[in-house]
Amino acid sequence: MAPETAVHLEPMTPVALLERTLRVFPEKTALVYGETRWSYARLAQEVGRLAGALTRAGIEPGDRVAFLTPNLPELLVAHFAVLRAGAALVAINTRLHAEEVGYILDHSGAKVVFCDPELAHQVAEAPGGLAHGPLLVNVQDPVAGLTDTPLDGPSYQEFVAGAPVLEIGGAPADENDLTSINYTSGTTGRPKGVMYTHRGAFLNGLGEMYVHHLGRDSVFLWTLPMFHCNGWCFPWAVTGAGGTHVMLRGVEPREILVRIQEEGVTHFNGAPTVLLMLAETPEAQGLHFDPPIRVATGGSPPSPTLLARMEELGIRVTHLYGLTETYGPHVYCEMQASWEGYDPAGKARVMARQGVPYHHAIHLRVVDEQMADVPADGETMGEVVMRGNNVMRGYFRDPEATRTAFAGGWFHSGDLGVLHGDGYIELRDRKKDIIISGGENISTIEVEHTVVKHPSVLECAVVAMPHEKWGEVPKAFVSLKPGESAREQELIDFCRERLAHFKCPKAIEITDLPKTSTGKIQKFRLREKEWAGYEKRIKG
């Protein structure tokens, strides 16, 4: 006799967020892309059709389905349809090289690969990635004028044509089944596949809805790539809130401003570099959004200077911190009522901290090498560790890396920070980025925040460079605002007026900064440049 279903227990899944919104707001606008506007009834139909097409194509529970596209409607659909079919979504970084794409396709074993025409070469040339013979599907984009089908396979419309439309609903067999595999950037080796679950995705979606005040009147602009931590779980959060998704193929400041004003955008997300681009575009000069636009930023700590500028624009920034391994955000800087009365500079200083954990993932510590908590003095550095409902299930097909990451029963972030007396954490550096000069620790973040206070500086990245006496010393790489100029010594002197001299950059290079697709500055490339051949030089 089959066991009775527990009335009090239903497996969690983010698909339920669409199911609920379909019931409550079927005719509300769900998606805008160019002239395309879908209601939630239409979005649910497209989700059901893709889920049916995947099932018809032989996709079974546990299989992987890959997408290599910009922020298109089809990728939003996939965040529900692939899960409804019982499979796991592998959304791939659009700026990876063919070799990296090939590794991900091979490692994940994706059975179907959906690809944008502009990115088709990354799949066609992927070494080893097609060895297991996945079905290739061309995702055309008429809005961008991309109607070619360069890969040997059907178009998206041909793939879904005539497929049964599955109903939206139904719980997974196990809420710990995979929703998706998100591959890390691979800057220190092969990328690792981070496994998300139905339970984790559902709870993180609810967390985003609450923290960022998402509701039925929210209009969310997709400046953050959906391939990045599944868009920080916002595809599920905005849908669950009944908000409107405004799709954006690429990030361009003028287009962002147009969409904000034409669509009544209330929310968007992005790295600090996206906010910088927006602040510096001429069309933003003199603008002040009222009511304020809510923006979540993460990736690197925004400087107090940048936060103050956002305040001037009427952009209310929530500073987030997390990793791919924590579904994106794990921590946010919650505004205290007493801070509201601070002047812009004072408010920016406290808001630049990373903050406190989300409500569904409250376990957060700063620990020393023996896993003991450091004093909450805002000075003693330790590693940030976390556990709870928004930590990954583990690394796909990599049990050894999983064991290392979960040593001692906590996820080890590799980030160094301090704990303040009010319970807020503040990052000081990545373990690999901290500069140890003559035995003294130097936070690159502290130096960067000082450099960007100079009126001519747009962005800054600080890394260690070799030094015969001190072992290593800071070097700053700086990009300037358009039309501005500054000399190296001028910037060094500027820092020496504001920092202990041993912390000041010993060299400054004015250049374009290398970045990831999500706007993070790739410090490892700058560091490799400085240290290349160093052992050879000092030996002879």
With beta carbons less than 8 A apart as the criterion, state whether 417 and 381 touch: yes
d(CA 301, CA 450): 13
Indicate the CATH number of 435-539 among 3.40.50.1820, 3.10.450.240, 3.30.300.30, 3.10.105.10: 3.30.300.30
Could you list the beta-strand ranges (E) of 56-109: 64-68, 88-91
pLDDT at 11 over 70: yes
Q: What is the dihedral of CA 72, 78, 81, 84, to 10 degrees?
A: -150
CATH topology of domain 210-430: Rossmann fold (3.40.50)
- 391: nearest Cα among 196, 228, 226, 237: 196
Q: What is the pLDDT of residue 538?
A: 37
Interhelix angle 40-56/15-24, nearest 10 degrees: 140
More confident: 440 or 80: 80
Could you list the beta-strand ranges (E) of 353-504: 356-357, 363-367, 382-387, 394-395, 411-419, 425-430, 435-437, 440-442, 457-467, 471-480
Mean pLDDT of 39-45: 98
Q: Which residues contact 356 (CB under 8 A, 6 or more apart)?
A: 331, 332, 333, 334, 364, 423, 424, 425
- 227: nearest Cα among 22, 53, 89: 89
Rg (CA), the chain: 24
Q: What is the pLDDT of residue 186?
A: 53
Q: Which residues contact 325 (CB under 8 A, 6 or more apart)?
A: 184, 194, 391, 392, 405, 411, 413
- Which run of H or of E encompasses 319? strand 315-323
Give me the percent of the chain exceeding a pLDDT of 90. Answer: 74
- Looking at residue 299, the DSSP 8-state letter turns out to be S
Backbone phi and psi for residue 259, each to the nearest 5 degrees, phi listed first: -65, -40
pLDDT digits (tens, 9 = 90+) for 379-426: 998 999 999 999 999 999 999 999 999 999 999 998 889 999 999 999
DSSP, collapsed to helix, strand or coil, labels residue 384 as strand
With beta carbons less than 8 A apart as the criterion, state whether 295 and 304 touch: no
- 476: nearest Cα among 459, 500, 501: 459
Q: What is the 3-state secondary structure (H, E, C) of 173-194?
A: CCCCCEEEEEECCCCCCCCCEE
- Looking at residue 5, the DSSP 8-state letter turns out to be P
Q: Residue 287: exposed, middle, or buried by beta-carbon count in 10 A (0-12, 13-18, 19+)?
A: middle
Work out the pLDDT band at 300, boundaries 50, 70, 90: low
d(CA 15, CA 169): 7
d(CA 228, CA 223): 11
pLDDT at 250 over 70: yes
pLDDT at 168 over 60: yes
d(CA 388, CA 68): 30
d(CA 327, CA 148): 34
Indicate the CATH number of 35-170 among 3.40.50.980, 3.50.50.60, 3.30.1490.20, 3.30.300.340: 3.40.50.980
d(CA 51, CA 302): 40
Structure tokens at 19: 């199911």
Q: What is the pLDDT of residue 187?
A: 45
d(CA 214, CA 242): 8
Long-range contacts: 430-434, Cβ < 8 Å, 24+?
Answer: 431/383, 432/188, 432/524, 433/463, 433/523
More confident: 14 or 93: 14
Q: What is the pLDDT of residue 28?
A: 98
pLDDT at 247 over 60: yes
435-539 shares the fold of 35-170: no
With beta carbons less than 8 A apart as the criterion, state whether 160 and 82 touch: no
pLDDT at 537 over 80: no
From residue 280, give the alpha-carbon distance in Å to each of 188, 251, 252.
Answer: 33, 14, 12
What is the domain partition of the chain in residue ranges? 35-170, 210-430, 435-539
DSSP, collapsed to helix, strand or coil, labels residue 524 as helix
Cα angle 397, 415, 527 (rounded to 5 degrees) comes to 90
Q: What is the pLDDT of residue 540?
A: 32
pLDDT digits (tens, 9 = 90+) for 100-159: 899 999 999 999 999 999 999 999 999 888 999 999 999 999 999 999 999 999 999 999
pLDDT digits (tens, 9 = 90+) for 305-333: 788 888 889 999 998 999 999 999 999 99
